[in-house]
């Protein structure tokens, strides 16, 4: 049996770190590989041929040799996941949906998937494989019991192109003991953390060592969900690292109460954990109580963060604004805390109600939910919650203003200095060779710092740790991450919505450059939409090299100077156009997230498109 597993392209978000990946880090295309697919591959019968394609790093095959195509997805990937399922099904493949969102809302897949795997797949996937071989497969396999993680196999890391990711994922536990009102993790994975055995973890690390991995991310919901077991894991990791020259630099997700256990922090340090992601959400005790995040109420949060720093561990954190107790002052409080604590990568979201969570049920009952497209992307100025203590427009404006303040060069530098005052001996070393490290620094300076002008250069110099060089990798990573966020925010979050005149001017310039072709009807241009403007360009007649020479800079400038998207539709194409067309694509690649390409089905073999760079539209009915 031939099985093709696909991780669909993510829409761009703060997490994509696009600027860092394209401009600074060597040969990396995405942050993390799809661990769920590698786990699923390991659960297949040994005689099945399995291939994993991650559309975030490579194009999807349009004519795969596969009996079954399995597509995973989080909520943010839902529309692409549906598009891929529909496409492969229309080509005669048997299509299966699984992953985070199919686990939470399997009912939403009924139309496009032949089978839905809902929940952890360690047991039910084996059932599906058996049934499929016998021709008795069902439409839905739903895990309703409890999966013991000791039954989870070593993921097929060998099927992933690990060198293209900044971190490689592995997992020790699932589930979290807490009960934050907005959280869907405990709906999917429960409140009793389940863990793998230390032997299993050791086997996975052996495999990652064999594959020459250095940066590893424990993607647990909360690594310290079961404290005694977490301590055993960390002691084991320390011993493992001792034996193997500290090959790994680790990171993970954990709850803030880790700060209350100095022995635990000591173990984190000893095992070489460089950073931890923590859901801080709010510094207001009333809001924390409201959302049942009581584990954050043990002490002043700044004290907790600084204690974690004192063990050499950097803190990334998530914040939420929009709790019922929050007011317009909350924005200022969050700004002050994030700055004083020196949190370089604050993931700030407006309170959003995800389906099936207690928050969703409460707000629905109170009539405080609106419909919002793509509710899953919660790091943008939009929410499906009607705020209680401030107008919706004010919360959106406050959100944009907060990011603006945090992402000024001065704001970034101030946070770095506040962080370094307490993160004196960071464990994080970068995980790169000296040569690679110098290359990264060089690109950061020339592509990130110098283009920011004298003020950014000055702020950068002020953050350099002249007396403590061990802090340098942290400073470099801080600037790379912060400039990546800044670049994304400037394009997608904080841009003024009033770009209309700039848009029209750019389209006019483009049109006048190719006016002969437009008049002849060989190409059409149409600017559509206001909130999310889109320029539709349709190639429909004979186009020569001169056309591409003139259209390329115009389109490139359109994308560079506006935040609009472009839909490039190819309805006619001759073989001699391939070279100039590819030249056009190369110039637009850096804006690929905003470029949608629709190729007439009869021409697809003639016009190869890298779907990991551009949005390759496969749905039939596209305007």
CB of 23 to ligand SF4, least distance (A): 32
- Smallest separation, CB 268 to ligand B12 (Å): 18
Does 10 contact ligand B12 by CB under 6 A?
Answer: yes
Q: How many CB atoms lie within 10 A of CB 14?
A: 22
Q: Which of 453, 346, 452, 456 is nearest to 403 (CA)?
A: 346
Name, in order, each residue with C-beta under 8 angstroms of 606's C-beta and a sequence gap of 6 or more: 573, 575, 578
| Among 94-102, 230-238, 293-301, 413-421, the segment contacting ligand B12 (CB under 6 A) | 94-102
Least distance (Å) from ligand B12 to the CB of residue 195?
13
d(Cα 252, Cα 264) in Å, to the nearest integer? Answer: 14
Structure tokens at 546: 């001169």
The two tokens of residue 69 are 């195509």
The C-alpha angle with vertex 405 and arms to 470 and 254, in degrees rounded to 5, equals: 55
DSSP 317-367: EEEEE--TT--THHHHHHHHHHHHHT-SSEEEEE----TTSHHHHHHHHTT
Q: Which is nearer to ligand B12, 58 or 556 (CB)?
A: 58
Contacting range for ligand B12; rule: CB under 6 A; set: 95-103, 241-249, 260-268, 563-571: 95-103
Contacting residues for 176 by C-beta, under 8 A, at least 6 apart: 183, 185, 186, 189, 191, 193, 221, 222, 225, 255
Q: How many residues does the chain have?
A: 623
Alpha-carbon distance of 596 to 604, in angstroms, equals: 15
Cα(465)–Cα(461) distance, integer angstroms: 9
Q: Within 40-69, which residues bind ligand B12 (CB under 6 A)?
A: 40
Q: What does the alpha-carbon distance between residue 222 and residue 189 come to, in Å, rounded to a whole number?
A: 11
Integer Cα distance of 483 and 124 in angstroms: 43
Tell me which of 279, 322, 342, 481 binds ligand SF4, using CB under 6 A: 279
Least distance to ligand SF4, CB of residue 188, Å:
10
Beta bridge partners of 346: 317
Between the alpha carbon of residue 616 and those of residues 205, 373, 571, the distances in Å are: 36, 21, 14
Residues 163-182 that bind ligand B12 (CB under 6 A): 169, 171, 174
> Nearest-CB residue to ligand B12?
98
Binding-site partner at residue 176 among ligand B12, ligand SF4, none, CB < 5 to 8 Å by type: ligand SF4
- Tell whether residue 183 is a contact of ligand SF4 (CB under 6 A): yes
Cβ(132)–Cβ(68) under 8 Å?
yes
Q: Cβ(231)–Cβ(199) under 8 Å?
A: no
Closest Cα to residue 385, out of 404, 366, 399? 366
Element (H, E) at 226: none
Options 24, 25, 31, 485; binder of ligand B12; rule CB under 6 A: 31
**What distance in Å separates the CA atoms of residue 385 and residue 369, rounded to the nearest whole number?**
5
SS3 265: helix
Residue 51 or 239: the one with the smaller Cβ distance to ligand B12 is: 51
* Interactions with ligand SF4, residue window 591-620 (CB under 6 A): none
Q: Count residues near ligand B12 (CB under 6 A).
A: 42
Q: Choose among ligand B12, ligand SF4, none what residue 72 binds, the Cβ cut-off being 5 to 8 Å by kind.
A: ligand B12
CB of 341 to ligand B12, least distance (A): 20
Contact between 176 and ligand SF4 per CB under 6 A: yes
Q: Which of 221, 314, 487, 593 is the binder for ligand SF4 (CB under 6 A)?
A: 221
Q: Between 185 and 543, name the residue whose CB sits nearer to ligand SF4.
A: 185
In the bound state with ligand B12, the residue whose beta carbon lies nearer, of 342 and 349, is: 349
| Sheet strand arrangement including 249-253 | 168-170, 215-218, 249-253, 273-281, 314-321, 346-350
* CB-nearer residue toward ligand SF4: 183 or 444: 183
**Which residues inside 103-162 make contact with ligand B12, applying CB under 6 A?**
103-104, 117, 120-122, 125
What mask, x for binding ligand SF4 by CB under 6 A, covers residues 351 to 390? ----------------------------------------
Q: Binder to ligand B12 among 32, 333, 408, 436 (CB under 6 A)?
A: 32
3-state secondary structure of 53: strand
CA distance 429 to 434: 11
> Rounded CA gap, 387 and 378, in Å?
15
Judged by beta carbon, residue 137 or residue 552, the one nearer ligand B12 is: 137
CB-nearer residue toward ligand SF4: 32 or 294: 294
We find the least distance from the C-beta atom of residue 338 to ligand B12, in angstroms, to be 17
249 interacts with, out of ligand SF4, ligand B12, none, CB within 5 to 8 A per kind:
none
What is the footprint of ligand B12 within residues 69-88 (CB under 6 A)?
70-72, 74-76
- Region near ligand B12 per CB under 6 A, out of 91-99, 267-275, 489-497, 551-559: 91-99
Strands 534-539 vs 49-54: parallel, antiparallel or unpaired: unpaired
The interface partner of residue 169, options being ligand B12, ligand SF4, none and the CB cut-off 5 to 8 Å by kind, is ligand B12
Residue of 17, 56, 100, 255 that binds ligand SF4 (CB under 6 A) = 255
170, interface contact from ligand SF4, ligand B12, none, CB < 5-8 Å by kind:
none
Residue 165 is given by DSSP the state: B
Q: Is 180 in the site for ligand SF4 (CB under 6 A)?
A: yes
Count residues near ligand SF4 (CB under 6 A).
11
Cα(378)–Cα(501) distance, integer angstroms: 30
Binding site for ligand SF4 (CB under 6 A): 176, 178-180, 183, 185-186, 221-222, 255, 279
Binding site for ligand B12 (CB under 6 A): 10, 13, 15-16, 31-32, 34-37, 39-40, 70-72, 74-76, 96, 98-101, 103-104, 117, 120-122, 125, 169, 171, 174, 184-185, 189, 219, 221, 376-379
């Amino acid at each position: 049996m031939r099985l093709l597993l696909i991780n669909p392209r993510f829409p761009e978000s703060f997490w994509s770190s696009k600027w860092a990946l394209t401009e600074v880090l060597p040969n990396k295309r995405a942050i993390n590989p799809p661990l769920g697919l590698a786990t699923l591959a390991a659960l297949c019968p040994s005689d099945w041929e399995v291939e994993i394609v991650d559309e975030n790093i490579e194009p999807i095959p349009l004519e795969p040799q596969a009996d079954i195509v399995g597509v995973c997805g989080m909520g943010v990937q839902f529309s692409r996941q549906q598009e891929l399922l529909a496409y492969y099904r229309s080509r005669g493949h048997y299509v299966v949906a699984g992953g985070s969102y199919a686990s939470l809302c399997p009912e939403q897949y009924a139309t496009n998937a032949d089978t839905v795997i809902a929940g952890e797949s360690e047991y039910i996937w084996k059932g599906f494989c058996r049934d499929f071989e016998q021709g008795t497969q069902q439409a839905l396999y739903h895990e309703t019991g409890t999966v013991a993680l000791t039954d989870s196999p070593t993921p097929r890391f060998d099927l992933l192109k690990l060198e293209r990711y900044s971190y490689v994922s592995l997992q020790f536990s699932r589930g979290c003991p807490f009960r934050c009102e907005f959280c869907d993790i405990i709906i999917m994975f429960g409140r009793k953390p389940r863990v793998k055995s230390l032997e299993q973890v050791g086997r996975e690390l052996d495999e990652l060592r064999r594959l020459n991995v250095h940066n590893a991310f424990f993607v647990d919901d909360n690594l310290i969900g079961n404290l005694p077991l977490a301590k055993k894991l960390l002691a084991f990791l320390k011993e493992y690292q001792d034996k193997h020259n500290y090959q790994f630099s680790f990171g993970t997700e954990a709850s803030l109460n880790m700060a209350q256990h100095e022995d635990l922090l000591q173990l984190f340090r000893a095992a070489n954990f460089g950073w931890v992601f923590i859901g801080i959400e709010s510094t207001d005790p009333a809001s924390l109580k409201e959302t049942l995040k009581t584990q954050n109420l043990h002490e002043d949060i700044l004290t907790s963060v600084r204690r974690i720093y004192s063990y050499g561990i950097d803190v990334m954190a998530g914040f939420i604004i929009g709790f019922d107790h929050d007011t317009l002052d909350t924005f200022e409080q969050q700004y002050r805390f994030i700055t004083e604590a020196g949190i370089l990568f604050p993931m700030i979201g407006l309170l959003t109600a995800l389906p099936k969570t207690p928050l969703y049920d409460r707000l629905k009952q109170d009539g405080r939910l609106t419909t919002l497209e793509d509710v899953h992307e919660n790091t943008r100025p939009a929410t499906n919650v009607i705020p209680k203590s401030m107008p919706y427009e004010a919360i959106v404006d406050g959100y944009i203003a907060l990011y603006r303040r945090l992402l000024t060069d001065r704001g970034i530098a101030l946070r770095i200095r506040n962080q370094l005052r307490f993160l004196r001996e960071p464990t994080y070393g970068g995980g790169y060779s000296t040569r690679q490290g110098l290359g990264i620094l060089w690109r950061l300076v020339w592509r990130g710092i110098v283009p920011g002008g004298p003020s950014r250069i000055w702020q950068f110099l002020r953050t350099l740790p002249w007396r403590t060089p061990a802090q340098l990798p942290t400073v470099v990573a801080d600037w790379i991450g912060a400039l990546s966020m800044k670049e994304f925010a400037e394009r997608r979050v904080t841009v003024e919505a009033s770009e209309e005149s700039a848009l029209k001017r750019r389209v006019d310039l483009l049109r006048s450059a190719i006016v002969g072709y437009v008049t002849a009807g060989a190409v059409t241009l149409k600017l559509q939409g206001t909130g999310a403007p889109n320029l539709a360009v349709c190639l429909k007649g004979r186009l020569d090299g001169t056309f591409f020479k003139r259209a390329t800079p115009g389109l490139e400038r359109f994308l560079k100077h506006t935040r609009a998207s472009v839909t490039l539709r190819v309805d006619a194409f001759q073989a001699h156009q391939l070279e100039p067309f590819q030249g056009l694509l190369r110039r637009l690649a850096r804006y690929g997230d905003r470029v949608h390409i629709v190729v007439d089905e009869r021409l697809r073999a003639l016009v190869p498109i890298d779907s990991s760079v551009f949005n390759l539209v496969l749905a039939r009915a596209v305007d």
